[in-house]
Structure 1
Amino acid sequence: MSDKLPEMRGLLIDLDGTLYHGTHVIEGAEPLISYLKETKLPYRFVTNNSSATPDEVADRLMNMGIPAEARDVCTSAQAAAGYIANLSPGASVFVVGEAGLKSAVLEAGLQLTEEQPDYVLQGIDRSFTYERLTKAVRFIHGGALFVLTNPDLLLPSSDGLIPGAGSIGAMLKAAGGKEPVLIGKPSSILMDYSLREIGLSAQETWVVGDNMATDIAFGKAAGCGTILVLTGLTNEQNMDYYMEQAGCKPDIICKHLEELRSYISNRTGL
């Protein structure tokens, strides 16, 4: 154990590909979270997925047998809505996204609109249409600020990889001609939101996830400790490629969640 690594007083834990694939729980997820609860080691589930509300995320985890409450969850939708509300209280927002993103917008005191918005806010949208793309692009050309919940190009699901919010964002960026404000991992905006929620500094917090470009880059940029788990997008065969693409390396690599639980126990003495 290196003294150069940060202390571990809390964890920011990814969901998709780390604790579950689609509707399938990853082996070791329930014992890991139960252990964290029993030892009272603070943690938050931090997800780039903007499609669900914190209550829905918690319910989904509970249905998989993983202990969870809405207060444990930090989503890119919450951070995105908060970012816009801080800049422009009561602003009008055109949403390309699902129920979780729309709910976060309303809870932040913003206005949903289909005409002449101040902002185009885009997340994952599994009902995305060419018509919706056209409206968003025209709004961006008309001066609306483009905000992207997260850059994930691909997401693990129950039956394989699916396109993520970043794939839609790439179309809007290309056609709209504007760089979006990025909210989710690896952006500092979601990191700052999550650290406020957990009540710790980056130097006391470790990030756990399966994606080098989002989870691990997210932690590295903030100065957190980082643990890559080979449970989702990244595996033993492709991890060198993803590390090269991300331009960084994790502090620790765990092949599975039981190895992760053991590492946490050894590092914290809990």
Structure 2
Amino acid sequence: MGPMTAPRTVETWLTDMDGVLVHEEDAIPGAAELVQALRRSGMGFLVLTNNSIFTPRDLRARLLLSGIDVPESAIWTSALATAQFLLDQRPDGTAYVVGEAGLTTALHDVGYVMTDRDPDYVVLGETRTYSFEAITKAIRLIEGGARFIATNPDPSGPSPAGTLPATGSVAALISTATGRQPYYIGKPNPLMMRSALNRLDAHSETTIMVGDRMDTDIISGLEAGLRTVLVLTGSTQRHQIEQFPYRPSRVVDSVADLVPFVEQSAAGRAEA
């Protein structure tokens, strides 16, 4: 067997949002500079999030308040990935949705009809106002034959007041009642990465995924064939890395450490 070939030139960047670019409403040092460097570089990039509550326009506004200027077109949510998946699977379908504007808007935009009468799918997303009535309706529709989709498996999420139940926790409730497991679209499903690559018309061998969680960002990037960078400003700490049977391609303290690499990659592309 001959020597392994050197990695191909980086052409595209994917980066997680929470724990990588921001903590709640506060920008992580270096995040604004990284996005500026990516925009100057001419390389394709997307900011990914499992959060399905907000539309890309909402998220752009929230990031701007934190001092990070990300174009709306460069934000890819689990809601958008879910809508793309359903469009590919069953165009012009119908869905009963438990979720908020980020999810319902994404589904409307691909031509889906929202209904509680014999829908093709029950689609569960994150919301701050889960109702017993809506969950009961979802359970009965799934029992009646609707296919069960969830935007992401995250069991909980942060808030200024403390932990909040998230999509995975409510999905577990519905699964317990129905005996049916959902198909999760968001990370760690590598489908989320593949849909982002397709959005950019990018190739896995020339793409880097930046994340703060070994069990979502890094594993999904690895399984999609990407090079991965773990930043230590979020969930996974340095001492925890060895607990996992896989490793990121690189570990850095924060996204601030990646700004020179982006600039070097851009210079290399310009010379090529």
TM (normalized to structure 1)?
0.90
1:139 matched residue in structure 2: 141
Aligned to 2:59, the other structure's residue is in SS state helix
Query: Matched residue of 2:104: which SS?
Result: helix
Percent of aligned pairs with the same amino acid: 35
Corresponding letter in the other structure for 1:234: T
- How is 1:10-49 mapped onto 2 (pairs within 5 angstroms)? 10-49=12-51
Task: Give the secondary-structure state (helix, strand or coil) at the position aligned to 1:60.
Answer: helix
Per-residue deviation at 1:156?
3.9
| Alignment correspondent of 2:249 | 251
Residues 130-169 of structure 1: matches in 2 within 5 Å? 130-158=132-160, 160-169=162-171
| Structure 1 residue 3: Cα displacement | 6.2
Provide the rounded CA distance (Å) in 2 between the counterparts of 1:239 and 1:162. Answer: 26
Instruction: Provide the C-alpha distance between the structure 2 equivalents of 1:87 and 1:221, rounded to a whole number of angstroms.
Output: 22
Residues 71-129 of structure 1 show CA distances to partners (whole Å, capped at 9, x for unaligned) of 11111111111221222222221111111101111111111113332101011121112
Q: Deviations over 1:127-186 (max 9, x none)?
A: 112222221111111110011111122334445543332222222222221222221112
| Match in the other structure for 2:55 | 53
**CA, structure 1 residues 158+226, in 2 after alignment: closer, same or farther (shift >3 Å)?**
farther
8 Å contact kept, 2:41–2:266: no
Aligned match for 2:113, one of 105, 111, 114: 111
Q: Is the 8 A contact 1:146 1:178 kept in 2?
A: yes
For 1:100 and 1:209, the matched residues in 2 are separated by: 22
Equivalent residue letter for 1:192: R
Distance, in Å, in 2 between the alignment partners of 1:158 and 1:21 is 10
State the secondary structure of the residue aligned to 2:238: coil
Counterpart of 2:125 (choices 123, 143, 148) is: 123
What is the CA–CA distance in structure 2 between the aligned matches of 1:56 and 1:7, rounded to whole Å? 33
Aligned CA distance change for structure 1 residues 159 and 13 (closer, same or farther; 3 Å): farther
Q: Which 5+ residue runs of structure 2 have no aligned equivalent?
A: none
C-alpha distance in structure 1 between counterparts of 2:115 and 2:186, whole Å: 23
Q: Secondary structure at the match of 2:58?
A: helix
CA distance in structure 1 between the aligned counterparts of 2:156 and 2:30, rounded to whole angstroms: 24
**Which amino acid is 2:28 matched to?**
I
The answer to whether the 8 Å contact 2:38/2:262 transfers is no
Cα contact 2:37–2:263 (8 A) shared by 1: no
Distance in 1 (alpha carbons) for counterparts of 2:247 and 2:175? 28
Answer whether contact 1:120 1:144 (CA < 8 A) is retained.
yes
Give the CA deviation at 1:265.
4.1
Summarize deviations over 1:49-90 as a string: whole Å, max 9, x none. Answer: 111111111121122111111111111111111221222222
Q: Distance in 2 between the 1:28 and 1:113 partners?
A: 44
For 1:81 and 1:116, locate their aligned partners in 2 and report how far apart those are by CA, in whole Å: 19
Alignment of 1:224-235 (within 5 A): 224-235=226-237
1:269 shift after superposition: 4.8
Q: How many correspondences in the alignment?
A: 265
Equivalent residue number for residue 77 of structure 1: 79
CA RMSD, 1 decimal: 2.1
**What is the aligned counterpart of 2:89 among 87, 90, 102?**
87
Uncovered stretches (5+) of structure 1, i.e. residues with no partner: none
Q: Of 174, 185, 188, which aligns to 1:186?
A: 188
TM-score by length of 2: 0.89
Give the Cα separation in 1 of the matches to 2:246 and 2:174. 28
Give the Å deviation of 1:29. 0.9
